[in-house]
Amino acid sequence: MAKRTKDYAGDDAELDAEVASLPFEQAVEQLESIIERIEEGSVGLEATLGEYRRGHALLRRCKAILDGAEQEIRRLSLDDLDKQREE
């Protein structure tokens, strides 16, 4: 069986690990670039599938960052409410 290239394939965990350290803005920028290339049709089918998989990993990364930010905002808001009650 031929080994698949890292650019076009790999499991979700591998892709998630690859994008795990990207800041939100960089992940969004890469995701937008992937969308643009796919929409233009400037890559072949195999490459498109690889781009789609990477885009999905980037989307998971962005969602995780946004979810974390939302939790932090809720925590801070609750802390503020608690402080107001104490006053």
- Return the higher-pLDDT residue of 20 and 84: 20
Q: What pLDDT is recorded for position 2?
A: 36
6: helix, strand or coil: coil
Rounded CA-CA distance 68/59 in Å is 14
Q: What pLDDT is recorded for position 72?
A: 94
Q: In the block, which residue shows the tokens 């350290």?
A: 21
Virtual torsion, Cα 76, 77, 82, 86, nearest 10 deg: 100
Rounded CA-CA distance 34/13 in Å is 19
Q: What pLDDT is recorded for position 83?
A: 76
Digit-coded pLDDT (tens) for 27-57 = 999 999 999 999 998 889 989 999 999 999 9
Is residue 47 a contact partner of residue 8, using CB atoms and an 8 Å limit? yes
Q: What pLDDT is recorded for position 10?
A: 57
Least trusted range by pLDDT, from 2-16, 27-41, 63-77: 2-16
